């Protein structure tokens, strides 16, 4: 494979050239080497070389990648100018470059075929709400979507008798030609046939069920497997469950965006779960062993040591959510919330008073004594 020429050198520019200079250089060289103007041997290859240089340098992202990495940049790895031309310049806008000539360089000398072949169906997107328990353990749900399918009456042909004829306007070629006289000579321009939209096909007896489109709007129920560990915003791709393709093209895909509903008691952080658990004043003071709810529903016990303060956090390993596509399971963090009794029975009040006398709580007494001494000076 011959070594490529530097893009700036091809356009006769320095590396600091402005976008306007790049455009002007390309315009001049493209007119100079276009095969319909220049009949010299090698003109077509030079035109392609100029076109490739402009394609890269006129795009700020591609130009930056080329400046930094040269031809090795992954930004345009595998770029083939011949394929670019065959596709009609992709989404490139050449009208301002060739408008004064009265022709599109991709519809003449390179004989671009814009004839519509089979087309892949459109992708679809839908949302699916699930419970946190379902996200943690995995589940299977059935959804209903509206999509297009091949018409069962005409089998996707669009024709009532399933017979297709050549378009009379383009004789089945999908393209029509028109001749135009310019200052540079006579040019023959090929454009997409307006009658058949480039298909080259005419339908004499359109299908009544689909009105000749070959497609029908249907509702379909689809089973979706939800993997354990999925999180809100994750999407699942169901290949081939999108809209049907045109003219025998493949179906598109269906993307299901999963939304996990907020839980009543658990909060989620990646694969970990967080829970606030109320415990009584006596359980906190004396210590206790309590049963803790888990997302799986399995029984789990938590040892609360004597003297536990409110907002103390305990970690229960492996009781969180499984990480998606991994064997790792997160942890459950339990925050103790010590509940002070709002009202006391006579017996409870007597017991707390006795406890208060035994405790003495000299720390507060010492605090106030020091406070008084400081401000009595």
The model's pLDDT over 60-75, given as tens digits with 9 standing for 90+, comes to 888 888 888 787 666 5
* Mean pLDDT on 255-274: 96
> If you count them, how many residues does the chain have?
377
Instruction: Identify the residue with better confidence: 274 or 212.
Output: 274
* Band of residue 203 on the pLDDT scale cut at 50, 70, 90: confident
Percentage, residues of the chain above pLDDT 70: 79
* Band of residue 83 on the pLDDT scale cut at 50, 70, 90: low
Among 69-78, 191-200, 350-359, top mean pLDDT goes to: 191-200
* H or E stretch at 43: helix 43-57
DSSP assignment string, 243-284: PPPBTTPPP--EEEEEEEPPPSSEEEETTEEEEEEEEEHHHH
* Band of residue 101 on the pLDDT scale cut at 50, 70, 90: very low
Are the folds of 7-107 and 271-370 the same? Answer: no
Which tens digit of pLDDT belongs to each residue from 176-187?
887 766 544 566
CATH no. for 7-107: 1.10.287.110
Give me the residue spans of the domains in the chain: 7-107, 119-153+211-262, 271-370
* Band of residue 246 on the pLDDT scale cut at 50, 70, 90: confident
In the chain, what is the straight-line distance between the N-terminal and C-terminal CA atoms, in Å?
97
* Band of residue 372 on the pLDDT scale cut at 50, 70, 90: low
Across 26-40, 76-90, 256-270, 331-345, least confident range? 76-90
- What's the whole-model pTM score? 0.57
Structural tokens at position 347: 């017996």
Residue 258 β-bridge partners: 128
Instruction: Identify the residue with better confidence: 241 or 91.
Output: 241
Residue 165 has a pLDDT of 83
DSSP assignment string, 97-144: HHTTTT--GGGTTT--------BPPPPEEEEEEE-HHHHHH-EEEEEE
3-state secondary structure of 158: coil
Under 8 Å between Cβ of 321 and 135: yes
CB hemisphere CA count around 376 (13 angstroms): 6
Residue 227 has pLDDT above 80, yes or no: yes
Under 8 Å between Cβ of 103 and 34: no
* Mean pLDDT on 329-357: 84
- Fold (topology level) of 119-153+211-262: HSP40/DNAj peptide-binding domain (2.60.260)
Residue 364 has pLDDT above 70, yes or no: no
Q: How far apart, in whole angstroms, are the C-alpha atoms of residue 114 and residue 107?
A: 9
Choose among 32, 20, 25, 31: nearest CA to 9: 25
Among 268-277, 323-332, 352-361, top mean pLDDT goes to: 268-277
Residue 190 has a pLDDT of 78
Between CA 25 and CA 30, with CA 27 as vertex, the angle to 5 degrees is: 105
Structural tokens at position 214: 């070959």
Cα-based torsion angle of the residue sequence 114, 116, 119, 125 in order, rounded to the nearest 10 degrees? 70
Which residue in the block uniquely carries the two structure tokens 């707390």? Answer: 352
* Band of residue 103 on the pLDDT scale cut at 50, 70, 90: very low
Q: How far apart, in whole angstroms, are the C-alpha atoms of residue 277 and residue 304?
A: 11
CATH no. for 271-370: 2.60.260.20
Residue 73 has a pLDDT of 64
Eight-class DSSP state of 287: -
Average pLDDT, the chain: 81
Rg value, the chain, Cα? 37
3-state secondary structure of 226: strand
3-state secondary structure of 172: coil
């Amino acid at each position: 494979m011959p070594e490529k020429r530097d893009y700036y050198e091809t356009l006769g520019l320095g590396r600091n050239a402005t976008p306007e200079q790049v455009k002007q250089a390309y315009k001049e060289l493209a007119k100079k080497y276009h095969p319909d103007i220049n009949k010299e041997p090698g003109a077509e290859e030079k035109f392609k070389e100029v076109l490739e240089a402009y394609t890269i340098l006129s795009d700020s992202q591609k130009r930056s990648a080329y400046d930094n990495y040269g031809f090795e940049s992954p930004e345009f790895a595998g770029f083939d100018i011949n394929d670019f031309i065959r596709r009609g310049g992709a989404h490139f806008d050449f009208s301002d470059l060739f408008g004064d000539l009265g022709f599109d360089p991709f519809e003449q000398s390179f004989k671009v075929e814009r004839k519509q072949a089979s087309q892949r169906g459109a992708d679809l997107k839908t949302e699916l709400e699930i419970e946190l328990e379902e996200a943690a353990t995995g589940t299977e749900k059935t959804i209903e979507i509206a999509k297009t399918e091949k018409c069962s009456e005409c089998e996707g042909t669009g024709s009532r008798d399933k017979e297709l004829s050549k378009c009379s306007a383009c004789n089945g070629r999908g393209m029509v030609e028109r001749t135009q006289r310019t200052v540079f000579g006579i040019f023959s321009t090929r454009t997409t046939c307006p009658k058949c939209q480039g298909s080259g096909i005419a339908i004499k007896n359109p299908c009544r069920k689909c009105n000749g489109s070959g497609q029908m709007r249907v509702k379909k129920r689809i089973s979706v497997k939800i993997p354990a560990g999925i999180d809100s915003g994750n999407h699942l791709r169901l290949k081939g469950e999108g809209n049907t393709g045109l003219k025998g093209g493949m179906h598109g895909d269906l993307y299901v965006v999963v939304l996990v509903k907020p839980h009543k008691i658990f909060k989620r952080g990646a694969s970990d779960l967080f829970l606030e658990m109320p415990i009584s004043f006596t359980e906190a003071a004396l210590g206790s062993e309590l049963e803790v709810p888990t997302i799986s529903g399995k029984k789990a016990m938590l040892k609360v040591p004597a003297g536990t303060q409110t907002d103390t956090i305990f970690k229960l390993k492996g009781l969180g959510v499984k990480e998606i596509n991994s064997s790792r399971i997160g942890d459950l963090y339990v925050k103790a919330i010590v509940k002070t009794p709002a009202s006391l029975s006579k017996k409870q009040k007597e017991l707390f008073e006795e406890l208060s006398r035994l405790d003495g709580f000299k720390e507060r007494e010492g605090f106030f004594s020091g406070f008084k001494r400081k401000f009595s000076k």
